[in-house]
Amino acid sequence: MSAPLSIDVQHVSRQFVTKKGQTFWALRDVSLQVHEGELFGLLGPNGAGKTTLIKILSTLLLPTSGQVRVAGFDVVREADRVRRVINMVSGGEHSGYGILTVRESLWLFSQFHGLPSKVALARIDELLEVVGLAEHAHTRVNKLSTGMRQKMNFVRGFLNDPRVLFLDEPTLGLDVETSRILRSYVKRWVKEKPGRTILLTTHYMAEADELCDRLAIIEGGRILACDTPNNLKRTMQDEVVLRMEVYPSLTEPQRLAQLPGVLRLVPDRGQNGHQVLTWGLKDDGVIGTVIQALQQDGVRILRLEKADPTLEDVFMRMVGRRLTDGNGQSNHSA
Amino acid sequence: MATASPTTAPDALQPAGAPATSLPDLTLIQRLVLNLRAARARAYVRVVATGRELSWLAFEVVLPILSAAAYVFIYEALGAPPRYTGFVLLGTAMTAYWMNVLWSMASQFYWEKQSGTLEIYFLAPASRVALLLGMASGGIFMSTSRAASTLIAGSLLFGVRYEVASWPLAILAFVLTLAALYCLGMLFSSVFLMYGREAWHMASALQEPVYLLSGFYFPVRALGFWAAMGASLIPLTLGLDAMRQLMFGAPDAAFLPVGWELLGLAVLTVVYFLLALRSLAAMERLAKREGRLTLKWQ
C-alpha cells in the first residue's frame, strides 16, 4: 500500500489578468499527487508556473479552478490548518529585518508559528551549525552577504518542523559547498522524519536528479511528464545523445539540426572560446553524417562522447530548449 | 561545519505522530498563546530598533522642536496666553504617533511585501490581527520614546507650565486616542495592502492635511464646529483637544466637553477595530484572488 497523499492537486488552473486587461493562464489543468515521505521536484523554465503552483499550495494564492489538498486539508477552505503544517523557502528572498541579528530574526519568525522560545532557540542554534552560520548568529541581518542570507532563510523553513516544506529554488546563488550541505540536510530530513514531504523547484538538473524521488516537468502551465528521474531518463533510450566540444563555433546550427536523423541540436558556450554541442540522434548511424557535416563546415571536433541521457536531455526533448535561469545562463549544477 | 541530524521537538500546532488529516483544533488557550507570541515578536523589532538606531533622536526630536518653535514664537509675538505654547508642544509630540501610524502601520504590509516578508506572515498560522497588534504595540513604544523626548526637551526649552486637572482622565484620553488611532492604522493597513503601489502617495497625501484638520498646532475649535466635527473622524482631533483641556485647563479653547470627547474616542476605537477586522479579511481574500500578496506572480 502506498503512503498517504501529502499533496493532491486536481485539475488546477490559475488565470491572471494583466494591467492591460489581457488574461494569462499561469497554470492549466494541472494534476499531481505527492505522497508522504516523498521528495518531489518541479522542473521548468522561468514562467512555467512552478512558483504559482507553490503559492497556491502554500495558501498565498487562490486557484481559479480545481482542488488542492495539502496534508489532507483543502488550501482554500482549510487554509488555517494548512498553515500549521507547512513552511516555504524561496531562493533569493531578502526577508527579515536588517536591524535584528540572525538569531533574533529567526526567533521572530519562529514565533509566528507559535514555538516556545526555548524550543525555537535550540532549533535555531542547531540549524545554524548545520548551515555553517553559527559564528554569525549575532551578526545583524543587514551585514550578511547574499549567500548568508539565503542560509538564514533556509534555516527559517525548518524552524516549525513542517510536515510539508516547499523549497522554491533553495540553492539559488549559493556556492557549491553550501549547496552540497543544504542538499545533504534536505535528504536526511526527509529520510529521518517519517511523514515529512518536500516539494522542490530548481533550475539545477543535477540537484533534482540527486534529491528527488519523483519529478514533474512543467512548461507553459502544464505538466508534461511526471515520473522518477530514472524512468524519465529511460524515455530517452530510443535516441543517442552525443556531446562534443568544437572550435570554431557553428555559425548556422539550425542548418545542421535539419540533417536526416538529427532529432535535436543544442549549442552551448564552452570554455576557452570553444562550443559545446549536444546532439539528439535517431541512432548510431547518424554519427558519421554529423561528423562529416562538421568537417565540411571547417569545424574541428576537440572532444566527442556518447553520453548517457541526463534530465537535461529529457527536458530539452520535452520542452525544446535548455532549462536556463533568469539571466539566460545555463544550468550547471551548483 | 557540523552535520547535525534533523531536530524533533514537541509542537502544539502539529502534534507528533498525528496522522496527516487528524490535526486537532487549537484550543482557545493555544490560539491565544500563538497570537500573543506572534504579537510580542513583531513588537520586538520596533522595541529593539528604538535602542539600536539612535539617529531618530536627531530627526524625530530636534527637527519637530524646531517646527514647534516657529509656532511658539508666532503665538508669543501675538500675545497669546502661555498655554498655547503647551498646545503646540503637545501637538508636536503627538505627530510622532501620526507619522508612526501612517508610515509604520498603514504602509507596513506594503513594505513587507516589497521586502518579501509578507508571504512569510501569510503562510504562518498566526493571525494577521496579532501581527498588526504587535506592530501597533511596538510602534507605540517607539513613538512614545520620541513623543516623550520631544515633550521633555520642549517643556524645558520653552518653559511650558502644566495645569493638570486630572491625571487619570488625562491618561485615559491619551490611551483612548492611541487605541482609536492604531485601530485606524490597522484599517489603513488592509487597504494599503491591496493598493500597495499607491501607498506612498496615499500616506503622503494624508500626512500634512491631518496636521491641519486635527489641530496639531492650534485648538481645533478654530476650524468651526462642523469642520471640527468632520475632523473628529481622525482620533487625534478629539484626543488632542481632550488632553489640552485636561493638561492646560483651556475651557475657552475647547471644542467639546472632555466627557463627550472620551466617549467619541471609545466609539471610534470599537468602530475602527471592527472595520479593520472585516477589511483585513476582505482584502486578504481579494489579494489572494488577484495575486497581490507577493511581488512575483510566477
B21 pLDDT band, cuts 50/70/90, is low
pLDDT at B297: 41
A173 pLDDT band, cuts 50/70/90, is confident
Q: Which pairing describes strands A39-43 and A214-219: parallel, antiparallel, or unpaired?
A: parallel
Say how far apart CA A215 and CA A217 lie, in whole Å: 7
Q: Tell me, which fold does domain A238-308 have in CATH? A: Alpha-Beta Plaits (3.30.70)
Tell me if the domain spanning A1-85+162-176+185-236 has CATH number 3.40.50.720: no
The pTM of this model reads 0.83
Question: For residue B179, is pLDDT > 60?
Answer: yes
Q: Cβ–Cβ of A161/B8 closer than 8 Å?
A: yes
A333 pLDDT band, cuts 50/70/90, is very low
CB distance from B14 to chain A under 8 Å? yes
pLDDT at A64: 95
Q: Give me the residue spans of the domains in chain A.
A: 1-85+162-176+185-236, 94-161, 238-308
Of B99-108, B132-141, B257-266, the one with minimum mean pLDDT is: B99-108
Q: Cβ–Cβ of B38/A112 closer than 8 Å?
A: yes
- C-alpha Rg value of chain A to the nearest Å: 22
pLDDT at B201: 79
User: Which chain A residues have a beta carbon less than 8 Å from that of B18?
Assistant: none
Instruction: For A298-330, write each residue's pLDDT tens digit.
Output: 899 999 988 888 888 888 888 877 765 343 333
Question: For residue B16, is pLDDT > 70?
Answer: no
Instruction: For B101-136, write each residue's pLDDT tens digit.
Output: 988 888 888 888 877 788 889 999 999 899 999 998
Q: Cβ–Cβ of A114/B37 closer than 8 Å?
A: yes
Of A20-29, B164-173, B265-274, the one with minimum mean pLDDT is: A20-29
Q: Cβ–Cβ of A95/B116 closer than 8 Å?
A: yes
CB distance from B221 to chain A under 8 Å? no
CB distance from B55 to chain A under 8 Å? no
Could you say which DSSP state residue B15 is in? -
Cell of B122: 501569510
Q: Point out the residue among B38, B53, B288 whose CB comes nearest to the CB of A111.
A: B38
DSSP symbols for B85-103: HHHHHHHHHHHHHHHHHII
Q: Measure the CA angle with vertex A120, ends A114 and A122; round to 5°.
A: 160
- In angstroms, what CA-CA distances link A123 with A119, A131, A198? 6, 12, 19
User: Which chain B residues have a beta carbon less than 8 Å from that of A195?
Assistant: 20
Say how far apart CA B112 and CA A43 lie, in whole Å: 29
Higher-confidence residue of A128 and A329: namely A128
CB distance from B117 to chain A under 8 Å? yes
Instruction: For A137-167, write each residue's pLDDT tens digit.
Output: 999 999 998 888 889 999 999 999 999 999 9
User: Which chain A residues have a beta carbon less than 8 Å from that of B120?
Assistant: 95, 109, 112, 156
Q: Measure the CA angle with vertex A233, ends A230 and A235; round to 5°.
A: 120
Say how far apart CA A1 and CA B125 lie, in whole Å: 32
Q: Point out the residue among A4, A58, A97 whose CB comes nearest to the CB of B123.
A: A58
Q: What is the mean pLDDT of residues B261-281?
A: 95
Q: Point out the residue among A60, A83, A99 whose CB comes nearest to the CB of B52.
A: A99
Cell of A155: 534555516
The whole-angstrom distance between A217's CA and the closest CA on chain B is 16
In one-letter notation, the amino acid at residue A122 is A
Neighbours of A135 (CB within 10 A): 9
